[in-house]
Structure 1
Amino acid sequence: MVFEYAPAPESAAIVDVRPSYGLFVGGEFTDGHGEPFKSVNPADETVLAEIARADEGDVDRAVAAARTAFERVWGPMPGAERAKYLYRIARIVQERSRELAVLESIDNGKPIRESRDVDVPLVAAHFFYYAGWADKLGHAGFGPDPRPLGVAGQIIPWNFPLLMLAWKIAPALACGNTVVLKPAETTPLTALLFADICRQADLPPGVVNIVTGAGDTGRALAEHPGVDKVAFTGSTDVGRQIARSAAGTAKRLTLELGGKAANIVFEDAALDQAVEGVVNGIFFNQGHVCCAGSRLLVQESVAEELLERLKTRMATLRVGDPLDKNTDVGAINSAAQLARIRELADAGEAEGAERWSPPCELPPQGFWFAPTVFTGVAQSHRIAREEIFGPVLSMLTFRTPEEAVTKANNTPYGLSAGIWTEKGSRILWTAQRLRAGVVWANTFNKFDPASPFGGYKESGFGREGGRHGLEGYLDA
């Protein structure tokens, strides 16, 4: 018997989306001087709001406001006083959690269940966590009297708009820096709502500034001579450009870039548990996750059985309205990203891999892609080498642990990996040999504010989260 779920929509009425939004500079919303652009709901392609575009002059104003706030207010402020503001922000995030979750799902396309249960709680947790560090920086292991760097220019992606904001702003403020943040052009709305939260928390003007725009705005911020630190999360190609622009300057740099994570399933793994981890690893947030487990490496002896169970589980995934609480896979964030996913999926078929998706009725409007798994994948295939950033899984097999490690490390990226086995010794043996910044064992996509996150090779450098996340914002 098949049970059908009745629709369980979350109301969008809790969010008051304004027709237009300005920049947030010096504690006030101001006009931008570039050509405004539109933020679109990816689930139905309706226009949500018109967004101001910051030009170089606007970035100048934001950096100047941040510098003034740093020198006069925030930098000299005792850490215990800064902590009070961070605690206040965390509490307001909790109080407005439903509003933030709904707005995130409308603007980004991710299921409300993920926004509500994962993203927003982690946002509050990061501000609470770093509030606790604000008056203890001398005990963080970076010298007895570490100092803030000054003005941090921060550029965040569209896959976790509010969470990436928290990952960057919370440690920067705890260390005494001020911030100019540029959200992704397709998902600016929760960052602009966060600006309102900063005002509600009575954060001193200029401590947090938000400039909206596309690549030109981000470039102006990253290359601005008044910025002391650049923190970027996004594509490896843009990360290279930022690294080149910072070379030869005194700017500090943290880059969290792409990934092509391996999820390794050994023959002694609990297969049902592993299947849940595989599904969570690649279909969470529509695969729009830099650390997504997009390469599934399965020991040959259990490959057929695991694939059968995986297909059965994929057939239960519900694709549709992001505001429906029963939805598992929401909308792809943009038309451009959907085109990229389709291109790589088509390349997988053209190169000889076998493509499978469960029967899935996609909505007629919006940007949608059915959960997909490829078998018969070779390491030379584009789908095994390039970051797809969508709900597409490539399955490969291995015979020995040594082969599993070799295949897992055969990538220019090194952000994350997963290991599934009942043997603790095998977990430790494998983890020591994987060239990945984060390795999960018998789980996947688990995050905690106290745990550092970052990569090797083309996945970037520096760490965000935990005590390690303070280092990039301190001049020891």
Structure 2
Amino acid sequence: MDTRTSYDELFIDGRWAPSRSEEATAVVNPATGAAFGRVPRGAVADVEAAVAAARRAFDEGPWPTMSARERSAALLRFADVLESWRDVVEPVIRLESGALPSLIEATHFGIGLARFRYAAEKALTSFDTVTPLQVGPGDVLGASALLHQPIGVVGAITPFNFPLYLNLAKLGPALAMGNTVVLKPSPLTPLEGLVLGAVAAEADLPPGVLNVVTGEGDVGDALVTDPRVDMISFTGSEATGSRVMASASGTLKRVVLELGGKSAMIVREDADVEAAAAAAFGSFTLHAGQGCVLLTRHLVHRAVADQFLAELDRRVRATVVGDPEDPSTTMGPLISAAQREKVLGYIDAGVGDGGTVAARGSDVVSDGFFVPPVVLSDVPATSRSVQEEIFGPVAVVLRFDDDHQAVRLANDSRYGLSSAIFSGNGGAAWRMAQRLRTGGVRINGGGTALDLDAPTTGWKTSGLGTEHGIPGLMEYTLSKTVAFRAGR
């Protein structure tokens, strides 16, 4: 069992190897601002070694040619090892990301592992198909088979907000479909990437199938531009995603991007306002608002807007912001001092543009990176606080008079990741959902259970390609048609 909060080496070609940079990076607890661990600072030379290992494992190793049953068994063994380490991994997640224990158990670890297992189990399914037999000229009998084969070497680049979950959500489908992977975790949360190297070693994955390299932007750039890498799967900001796509274009790589969001919740006049406010509050304060799918624009019918704001204010005032180690804490810190200053700047911008602070939690006196939850109302729709992703516990409330205006306000965004509608009229909500330019819509909270088969697709600048479900698995494959005939 791996119990480390510090690593001296990177995981390359199935073993631990010292970084070529010979430099170390401190890992900081965002709840205290103090360092609690360290990792190597990866270098471009480390990327080159990791890509070479992944390339060799794909081109010469057994992984892509294993039977589906063998590969699935190996990945389920990986999942079992990680599950057995839960008690030591979850505290590391809390220290590194500042997440509450309940969120770690349910999402960071729980849903992440569930998505990995889903991919491992779906690897047993054959997605290949054969066309009906046909008789052609000269009485030739034949057909065609459509095969789905692994792409090759995948570079997976993940952000700081839900590190273990996102690492597993990429590794699962990439590995299940027979690819090899070089994982580059965020420099702010490297431990949740390196621990997966330790899991791979314990689970006896073949050398080079999974490689983990830490580092800054130069490491990511090297991974994206390396011609031996066949695909990049990136989750992060719109700006960085755009740069990734541009850099990958030089070698015509396949790219899957899951980017930012400024998701709208529409509250119609006939909605259960208390339920809507509870969902809105729970969303924009989840993990201190550090989530791309969170509902941060609340579009509320004018007739119920005051009631909605009062419900939000009550919940905001009751929020206990603090260290996740304290059982009374209900919202933790932001990831860094820089992120805290960015969020505070957006609040000032919203007020400067004419908005009002309708609700604000209590400030925290601490060396940690805390911002209390804030609700801005009556902010102009053109304000930066309305149009740009804040990635902090800040919600904006805009009023509307009819469904047409609500849809127009919801679609007035360059993002299109997620959205929600609260209404007592299911038919009206359904018709409205068809008009929203987003990859997902939840009506009255959506389903009550995690639907692992449901894909996630970012529209507009929220992404490119699909994650999760069968479509997410298919992103890690290339199709091949093989035509054949009966007899000679």
Structure 1 segments of 4 or more deviating over 3 A?
14-21, 139-144, 356-359, 444-448
Find the aligned partners of 2:236 and 2:361 in 1 and give their Cα distance.
32
Find the aligned partners of 1:141 and 1:455 in 2 and give their Cα distance.
31
Q: CA deviation at 1:386?
A: 0.8
Matched length: 463
Query: Which residue of the other structure, out of 122, 127, 131, is the alignment partner of 2:116?
Result: 127
Report Cα offsets for 1:348-367 as digits up to 9, x if no partner. Answer: 11111111444524142210
Find the aligned partners of 1:126 and 1:379 in 2 and give their Cα distance.
37
Query: Which residue of the other structure, out of 377, 395, 402, is the alignment partner of 2:397?
Result: 395
Aligned-partner SS, 1:21: coil
Which residue number corresponds to residue 411 of structure 2?
409
Aligned-partner SS, 2:395: strand
User: Does residue 37 of structure 2 align to residue 53 of structure 1?
Assistant: no
Q: CA deviation at 1:19?
A: 4.0
CA gap of 1:359–1:379, structure 2 versus 1, over 3 A, is closer
User: Does residue 13 of structure 2 align to residue 26 of structure 1?
Assistant: yes
Q: CA deviation at 1:96?
A: 2.1
Which residue number corresponds to residue 79 of structure 1?
68
Which residue number corresponds to residue 468 of structure 2?
465
User: Does residue 215 of structure 2 align to residue 227 of structure 1?
Assistant: no
Q: CA deviation at 1:18?
A: 4.0
CA gap of 1:110–1:141, structure 2 versus 1, over 3 A, is farther
Aligned-partner SS, 1:69: helix
Q: CA deviation at 1:159?
A: 0.5
Kept in 1, the 8 Å contact 2:72–2:121? The answer is yes
Which residue number corresponds to residue 109 of structure 1?
98
Q: CA deviation at 1:405?
A: 0.5
The one-letter code sitting in structure 2 at the alignment partner of 1:39 is V
Find the aligned partners of 1:326 and 1:15 in 2 and give their Cα distance.
29
Larger Rg: 2
Which residue number corresponds to residue 320 of structure 1?
322
Q: CA deviation at 1:36?
A: 2.3
Provide the TM-score with structure 1 as the length reference: 0.93
Which residue number corresponds to residue 260 of structure 2?
258
Kept in 2, the 8 Å contact 1:122–1:449? The answer is no
Report Cα offsets for 1:137-156 as digits up to 9, x if no partner. Answer: 42599973211011000100
CA gap of 1:111–1:188, structure 2 versus 1, over 3 A, is same
Kept in 2, the 8 Å contact 1:15–1:103? The answer is no
Which residue number corresponds to residue 91 of structure 1?
80
Aligned-partner SS, 1:146: strand
Aligned-partner SS, 1:306: helix
Find the aligned partners of 2:209 and 2:11 in 1 and give their Cα distance.
11
The one-letter code sitting in structure 2 at the alignment partner of 1:56 is V
Kept in 2, the 8 Å contact 1:87–1:131? The answer is yes
Which residue number corresponds to residue 309 of structure 2?
307
CA RMSD for the aligned pairs?
1.9
Taking the TM superposition and a 5 Å limit, the aligned residue runs for 1:72-471 are 72-138=61-127, 144-443=146-445, 447-471=450-474
Find the aligned partners of 2:304 and 2:129 in 1 and give their Cα distance.
45
Find the aligned partners of 1:263 and 1:80 in 2 and give their Cα distance.
43
Gaps of 5+ in 1: 1-13
Q: CA deviation at 1:242?
A: 1.2
Which residue number corresponds to residue 29 of structure 2?
41
Find the aligned partners of 2:395 and 2:12 in 1 and give their Cα distance.
42
Report Cα offsets for 1:26-50 as digits up to 9, x if no partner. Answer: 1112111233221111111111222
Find the aligned partners of 1:90 and 1:282 in 2 and give their Cα distance.
31
Find the aligned partners of 1:343 and 1:133 in 2 and give their Cα distance.
45
Report Cα offsets for 1:234-266 as digits up to 9, x if no partner. Answer: 011111111111225331110111111001111
Q: CA deviation at 1:216?
A: 1.1
Report Cα offsets for 1:271-300 as digits up to 9, x if no partner. Answer: 121111101221101100011111000000
Provide the TM-score with structure 2 as the length reference: 0.91
Aligned-partner SS, 2:299: strand
Which residue number corresponds to residue 17 of structure 1?
4
